[in-house]
Amino acid sequence: MSESAPFSAESYFATQPPPASLEHDILGVREFVQQQLKKDRNVVLVTSGGTTVPLELNVVRFLDNFSAGTRGATSAEYFLKAGYAVIFMHRQFSLQPFSRHYSHSTNPFLDFLEIEAPPDAAPDSTPQICVAKEKREDLMSVLTAYKSVQASGTLHTLAFVTVNDYLWLLRAVSQELSALRRRALYYLAAAVSDFFLPRQKMSEHKIQSGKGSLHIEMDQVPKILKSMVDEWTKDGFIVSFKLETDPALLIPKARAALKRYGHQLVIANELHTRKYQVLFVTPSSPTSIPDDPADEDSAFTETWLRVDIPSTPSAVSQKEIEEEIVLELARRHSEWINEKKLRQTQR
Ligand code: PAZ
């Protein structure tokens, strides 16, 4: 255990420096939010990918969090399809909406292309590049969606690398997005480190191996969801994710998060089944969660969302679970907005 007091959100931001690009990034987000306000669109902030924890100021080594960014990139596409404008805040070089279909490791882009000599060409004419026939239909559908999103200006992307970049960006983007009040949806799918090394404890240069084994004491990352709910967002609909490897912890951990932070929904998923099933956990009553553990089962509502598991590891599941997740969230978000409006008019 660290001897110093744990970081609160406030002490974290007072002592850890902001990333150099923060001001520039936020101007871009502000402009995007203003455009969406004019168009009366709902906006979702999607966070995606893992965060790093550098061990040195001149960083050679770092800890990383597991995440390819599949959940975030795929969900962003479905949110766009559902009519949301999307701020996609992702780990640098992790998967992104649309280009994810052509990831270099699973579906290399060069394999889509063929070199073709024009049929009646002179011997010295330049060969043509064309898309392989069997790939054209899929590529056309991805490209059409991509171009349409570009033309409508509904996707804004931002990148982070370290957990520090992530925290500063999350706070600033949430504050900008709060202008949309309940029309803002926060979809926190990034895998964020629970521990970090404060700048004040970091070695300036590469840690040397001469002293034998390495002992590092890390501090706990502050629980910023509380500040997000109470201070940074005004009335937004907040969805956090909970990843566990022990299935027995899924429900208790999701319930504990809702009790502790007071947000709207936790999507719980287990590492090995996350692509085929997730659990939506919400408080049964939007206004209060009983303290008595005996009432716990009735205090929360849990709903599984599932898609078919592919029959072989290489078979592609026809349906992506993110489609189901986003459809259900869009429905719940809209219902929640309407309930809030109704309550306001009844006052
Ligand atoms: O990015 P990915 O598709 O490989 O994984 C998604 C995920 C498991 C990181 C996400 O669904 C999630 O649970 N994020 C929150 C992780 C956490 O508990 O910090």
pLDDT tens digits, one per residue of 33-57: 999 999 999 999 999 999 999 999 9
From the alpha carbon of 72, which atom of ligand 1 is closest?
1
Determine the average pLDDT of the residues in 70-81: 98
Q: What percent of the chain has pLDDT over 90?
A: 82
- Kindly give the distance from the C-alpha atom of residue 270 to the centroid of ligand 1, in angstroms, as a whole number: 9
Angle, to 10 degrees, between the axis of helix 321-346 and the axis of helix 70-81?
60
- Closest residue by CA, ligand 1 atom 16: 191
- Kindly give the distance from the C-alpha atom of residue 221 to the centroid of ligand 1, in angstroms, as a whole number: 17
pLDDT score of 15 more than 50: yes
- Kindly give the distance from the C-alpha atom of residue 307 to the centroid of ligand 1, in angstroms, as a whole number: 17
Confidence class for position 315, pLDDT limits 50, 70, 90: low
ipTM of the complex as predicted:
0.99
Q: How many helices (H) and strands (E) does the chain have?
A: 9, 14
Determine the average pLDDT of the residues in 6-24: 97
pLDDT score of 292 more than 50: yes
Determine the Cα angle at 103 with ends 314 and 268, to 5°. Answer: 70
Q: What percent of the chain has pLDDT over 70?
A: 96
Structure tokens belonging to residue 23: 């001001």
- Kindly give the distance from the C-alpha atom of residue 241 to the centroid of ligand 1, in angstroms, as a whole number: 7
Look at residue 117 in the predicted model and tell me its pLDDT: 82
Determine the average pLDDT of the residues in 263-273: 97
pLDDT score of 215 more than 70: yes
Confidence class for position 3, pLDDT limits 50, 70, 90: low
Per-residue model confidence as pLDDT tens digits over 236-254: 999 999 999 999 999 999 9
Tell me the pLDDT of the chain averaged across its residues.
Answer: 93
pLDDT score of 68 more than 80: yes
State the DSSP string of 116-137: E--TT--TTSPPEEEE-GGGHH
Residue to mutate, 75, 241, 249, 253, ligand 1, most ligand atoms under 8 Å from C-beta: 241
Domains of the chain: 9-207+215-346 (3.40.50.10300)
Look at residue 218 in the predicted model and tell me its pLDDT: 97
Determine the average pLDDT of the residues in 123-145: 91
| pLDDT-wise least confident of 20-24, 172-176, 208-212 | 208-212
Look at residue 313 in the predicted model and tell me its pLDDT: 61
How far is CA 134 from each of CA 73, 105, 138, 139, 329, rounded to the nearest angstrom? 25, 20, 8, 10, 34
Contact (CB, 8 A) for 187 and 47: yes
Q: Dihedrals φ, ψ of 293, to 5°?
A: -60, -25
Per-residue model confidence as pLDDT tens digits over 164-189: 999 999 999 999 999 999 999 999 99
Q: Exposed, middle or buried, 62 (CB in 10 Å: 0-12/13-18/19+)?
A: middle
- Kindly give the distance from the C-alpha atom of residue 74 to the centroid of ligand 1, in angstroms, as a whole number: 12
Strands (E), 92-207: 113-116, 128-131, 155-160, 184-188, 195-196
As for ligand 1, residues whose beta carbon falls within 6 Å of it are: 67-71, 189, 191-192, 241-243, 269, 274
Confidence class for position 1, pLDDT limits 50, 70, 90: very low
pLDDT score of 121 more than 70: no
196: β partners: 219
Structure tokens belonging to residue 148: 């349409």
Look at residue 217 in the predicted model and tell me its pLDDT: 95
